[in-house]
Amino acid sequence: MRKFSFAGSAAAITGAASGIGRALALELAARGCDVALADLDETGLESVAKDIVEKHGRRATIRRVDVADPRQIQDFATSSIADFPALNILINNAGVALLGQFDEFDQAQMAWLMDINFWGVVHGTRAFMAHLTSRPRAHIVNISSVFGIIAPPGQSAYSASKFAVRGFSESLRHELAMSNSTVGLSVVHPGGVKTNIARRARSGSLLREKANADELGNRFEQLARTTPAAAAERIVRGIERGEPRILIGADARLLDIIQRLKPSTYWASLARVFQRMAV
């Protein structure tokens, strides 16, 4: 299959104000894409849009969107397609984290996370799908996590959402292939990427929320080895090649191997390593 061509394409990206989303917007613009950007952080959106115009000379539109609200996602899709009729790339990137053991958070907190991490992906895919299938060639990218491959303790909510993204994405990819669709789909599993998701995480224990977020943010930034720019470059290369599954970072690749070798007992091999990381 010939490589995906980015010149003259357009992409819609959620969670585009910072981290991997911002880096993806800049990487795609550098390759000739116009971009429609969504996030709750309007200041961040304005900043990345300005960089795209000044550095790459591409068009960039911005819209404040809560991906937990399907009406807002549908409005984003409608406006993005109107602005860029050639839009043929969708990246469902927006995500949040919730720390804590299962008995430390309530159903409302878990629903908040699932509405963003999982239903945001589903709603985004549904809102853009009819248009994408009308294009000669299109691609969907859904961001899962390495915690959509393994499930550490203290990550029951986050892992549930990321395993759900993985399952949804793989099944949909098979449906698209069976129907000979022009739409490809990649599910992405980042390992440690230097973003603010850990620092902005909510905690199941509200009394510990700020202390946990600050501590975890500092620790995560020390351990994360992959920059958002490197992650974006790898994802774009995966789109170009039509890769169904994209692992980001040596840590994600190693954990994937361990899980494959010990699918039901991998935690016995990993527990001590994660405990050292938590110190």
Does the residue 181 lie in any domain?
yes
Q: State yes or no: pLDDT of 85 exceeds 50.
A: yes
Name the catalytic one among 147, 158, 163, 220: 158
Does the residue 110 lie in any domain?
yes
DSSP state of 4: P
**Token pair in block for residue 166:** 């993985």
Residues 134 and 46: their CA atoms lie apart, in Å, by 30
| Residue 206, pLDDT score | 47
Number of separate domains in the chain: 1
Tell me whether strands 87-92 and 10-14 are parallel, antiparallel or unpaired.
parallel
The residue range of the domain holding 169 is 10-273
Does the residue 1 lie in any domain?
no
Does the residue 3 lie in any domain?
no
Does the residue 2 lie in any domain?
no
3-class SS at 62? Answer: strand
Torsion of CA 110, 116, 117, 123, to 10 degrees: 130
Q: State yes or no: pLDDT of 17 exceeds 50.
A: yes
Q: State yes or no: pLDDT of 157 exceeds 80.
A: yes
Residues 241 and 244: their CA atoms lie apart, in Å, by 9
| β-sheet with 10-14: strand ranges across | 60-64, 34-39, 10-14, 87-92, 138-143, 183-190, 245-248
Query: Under a CB-based contact definition with an 8 Å cutoff, are residues 230 and 27 in contact?
Result: no
pLDDT single digits (tens) 177-196: 999 999 999 999 998 876 56
3-class SS at 195? Answer: coil
Concerning whether 158 is annotated as a catalytic residue, the answer is yes
Tell me the CA end-to-end span of the chain in Å, nearest whole number.
47
* CB contact set of 75 (below 8 Å; sequence gap of 6+): 63, 65
CATH number of residue 167's parent domain: 3.40.50.720
Question: Cβ–Cβ contacts within 10 Å for residue 271, how many?
Answer: 12
pLDDT single digits (tens) 162-176: 999 999 999 999 999
**Token pair in block for residue 13:** 């990206």
| Residue 272, pLDDT score | 77
Does the residue 48 lie in any domain?
yes
User: Tell me, what amino acid is at 18?
Assistant: S
